[in-house]
Amino acid sequence: MRYMASSAGSILLKAQSCSLFLGMKGCLAILTGVAVCAAATKYEAEDALLQGSAVVTSCAAASGGQQVKDLGTDGSASGSVTFMVTVATAGYYRVLVRYMSAVDRSSEIAVNGGAPAMYSFAVSGIWCYAGGVTASKTVELLLAAGTNSIKLSNPSNWAPLVDFIQVPTTPAALLTTTTTTRPQASYEAEDGSLAGAAVAVSCSTASGGQMVNGLQHGSANSLLLTVSAASSGIHYMTVHYFSKTERNLVVAVDGRARTIKMPPSGNWCFEGGVPSQYSINVKLAAGLNKIKFEALPAEKAPIIDGILLEMKNPKKGLIVGKDVSLEDASHFGEYVSWYYRYDPTEPNEMRDWAAQNNIEYVPMIGYGGMTLLNGTRCTLLARAVGPARNVCSYQDVLNTVASNDMSRVKYIFGTNEPWNPNDANITVPEGVHIWTTYTQPVAQQLGLMLLSPNVGRSTRQLDWIEKFLKLCFDTVGCDVDLIRGVMVHEYKCKESYWISNYDGNGFFFKDLGSRMGRYGGKDWASWLEAQEVWVTETNCFWETTQPHPSNVQQCKAVTNQRTSSHGIGSLQWMEKSSRINRYAWWTTVNKNPSKTQLLVDYATKELNPTGFAYMNPVSATSC
């Protein structure tokens, strides 16, 4: 049995053939009740490029009778498998990885030589020799039109055995005018200017097969890279490096130097190690810029493989609430890549600022209604109807969202804090009604990607999202497979908290996965693994309540100045985590002087210590 969401918002039982909606492999159930099976191309691992210790092994349970083992490293050897895949259209593809592992393992996946992301692979069962079978995991990868490389490896441990990957012929989301693109450029260290003892040496796991060693004892032994920027402003630089121990690296951009503490990457190259990555903000001028890498006097710096430059930080966002002025937001124009305001439309005064800074806007279809283009208000729920507020029509909501500059709109948010009695406070059936009546059809009609209603790791939050997902799955017109990401709110800044709750095997995913089980015959574990995670509100304000942490204390918590209690802090952890796609600090400005977490002072319009820290938690010293 399935349910149908009626126009009145009630949930009605409806007899329907369940086989169309039970998440068949490679199939998409659409609203007409017809299951459309998308074509896909299979790429066998044994036919891919194998490097290092990777080797083909026989397995009767594998496709074609073979799979690839010894991927990753045990400290003495390392291996990788690289698939060359071809797609006709650029976009986000849900790539199925068929694998085998008798223990939990992880694998990095890198596309076209870009920065890799780490994915966890759950136990598939027993090994092949004992009669085991393979399992599937779906990952979402951004592919370019034409030929792409997809590389699987692990820099610090063994990865699962890989049987094959399967790439759909059509993307789950196109790269169209609704996608904000950010140019990237990579630079190999060995192509730079080397001074003194700095020298290019061979390394099989380095990009291009070489890396630069010998950065030691000050500026006489250095690496100089000349990079190009299309426009002036803040760029996001990811350094690829080797270092078995923690080392300092001095980075100077056009003569402006700062010292970065680089964490251990694992084994050295000669021990089978692979490069790690560390990202910082750098300010570049339009045209050519010189970036110099060297060690502190009497020290050795990490070995440098290369760098990747991006236009801005792709994760960092801004919350533009009712108290935020254009002057407040202008502090962050060069630092953030997206923003939202708990509303379907962006404020007129922010549009030029956002467009000039290439900042994506994320609309939200909330619970309390919206102001329409004609200036009137409407509500999404019949119980909230009043003398000056009627129920919104679908066309009104569609027109309101479509009035944004759609060249900068890619996603759409679900309801904010539906579980919270002091916020939205809506029931699960009301949430599904809003979703099926407005949010999902608007996203489909405008080609936007859906993000779930906001939740978190508390019991109340997990109860709500569990019931929402199950009711959505059981409701005709509500398609959980169209949800591309989960929104969460968390107000903790300790690195350990985020690791225990939001890494690949963290409590949030384990608990929600356990709650969903195989409800309706669906593989919810794979569904969860494929979800983006957006931290749409975070700060340190509620770590203590008597009193709340001061602005300075919160600044120190996220800038390596409270390492004994907070480690590297939440912001730097989110930057490194492959599970976190976006994050935003709550909040930018507020009239209430008791709010100690604000990025900008409401009265002076000047940055608070947390504002400086939010811009660049690696090197902020203003606390």
Boundaries of every domain in the chain: 2-37, 40-169, 184-310
Residue 38 has pLDDT above 50, yes or no: no
Tell which residue, 356, 344, 355, 349, has the closest CA to residue 324: 349
pTM, 2 dp:
0.65
Q: How far apart are CA 233 and CA 182, in angstroms?
A: 13
SS3 helix, strand, coil % of the chain, rounded to 5? 25, 35, 45
Residue 22 has pLDDT above 50, yes or no: no
So what's the pLDDT on residue 36?
Answer: 33
So what's the pLDDT on residue 618?
Answer: 74
Residue 612 has pLDDT above 60, yes or no: yes
pLDDT digits (tens, 9 = 90+) for 270-313: 998 888 888 888 888 888 899 999 999 999 999 999 998 887 78
So what's the pLDDT on residue 186?
Answer: 81
Residue 269 phi, psi (nearest 5) = -60, -45
Going by pLDDT thresholds of 50, 70 and 90, the confidence category of residue 620 is: low
Do the bridges between strand 316-319 and strand 338-340 make them parallel or antiparallel, or are there none, so unpaired? parallel
Tell which residue, 161, 183, 206, 208, has the closest CA to residue 66: 161
Residue 28 has pLDDT above 50, yes or no: no
Mean pLDDT of all residues in 538-551: 92
So what's the pLDDT on residue 342?
Answer: 93
So what's the pLDDT on residue 184?
Answer: 67
Whether the Cβ atoms of residue 344 and residue 370 lie closer than 8 Å to each other: yes
Q: What is the DSSP letter of 298?
A: T
Residue 612 phi, psi (nearest 5) = -65, -40
Going by pLDDT thresholds of 50, 70 and 90, the confidence category of residue 622 is: low
Going by pLDDT thresholds of 50, 70 and 90, the confidence category of residue 34 is: very low
pLDDT digits (tens, 9 = 90+) for 39-67: 789 999 999 999 999 999 999 999 999 99
Residue 603 has pLDDT above 80, yes or no: yes
Measure Cα distances from 575 to 162, 333, 335 in Å: 28, 19, 14
Q: How far apart are CA 589 and CA 599, in angstroms?
A: 6
Mean pLDDT of all residues in 586-601: 91
For residue 13, count other CB atoms closer than 10 A to its CB.
Answer: 10
With pLDDT > 90 as the criterion, what percentage of the chain qualifies?
Answer: 60
So what's the pLDDT on residue 183?
Answer: 55
So what's the pLDDT on residue 6?
Answer: 39
Here the tokens at position 216 are: 């030691």
pLDDT digits (tens, 9 = 90+) for 443-499: 999 999 999 999 999 999 999 999 999 999 999 999 999 999 999 999 999 999 999
So what's the pLDDT on residue 10?
Answer: 39
Whether the Cβ atoms of residue 1 and residue 13 lie closer than 8 Å to each other: yes
Tell which residue, 96, 43, 293, has the closest CA to residue 190: 293
| DSSP string for 329-344 | HGGGTTT-SEEE-SSS
Here the tokens at position 556 are: 């120190």
Residue 566 has pLDDT above 50, yes or no: yes
Residue 530 has pLDDT above 90, yes or no: no
Whether the Cβ atoms of residue 78 and residue 52 lie closer than 8 Å to each other: yes
Going by pLDDT thresholds of 50, 70 and 90, the confidence category of residue 170 is: confident
Whether the Cβ atoms of residue 175 and residue 181 lie closer than 8 Å to each other: yes
With pLDDT > 70 as the criterion, what percentage of the chain qualifies?
Answer: 91
Residue 354 has pLDDT above 80, yes or no: yes
More confident residue, 26 or 204: 204
Q: Kindly report the three-state secondary structure assignment for every residue of 169-221.
A: CCCCEECCCCCCCCCEEEEEHHHCEECCCCEEEECCCCHHHEEEECCECCCCC
So what's the pLDDT on residue 488?
Answer: 96
* Secondary-structure class of domain 40-169 per CATH: mainly beta
Mean pLDDT of all residues in 329-342: 92
User: How high does pLDDT run on average in the chain?
Assistant: 86
User: Coil, strand or helix: which one is 406?
Assistant: helix
Residue 100 has pLDDT above 90, yes or no: yes
Residue 175 has pLDDT above 80, yes or no: no
pLDDT digits (tens, 9 = 90+) for 140-164: 788 888 888 999 999 888 999 999 9
Mean pLDDT of all residues in 421-426: 88
Residue 72 has pLDDT above 50, yes or no: yes
Domain 184-310 has CATH 1.10.150.120: no
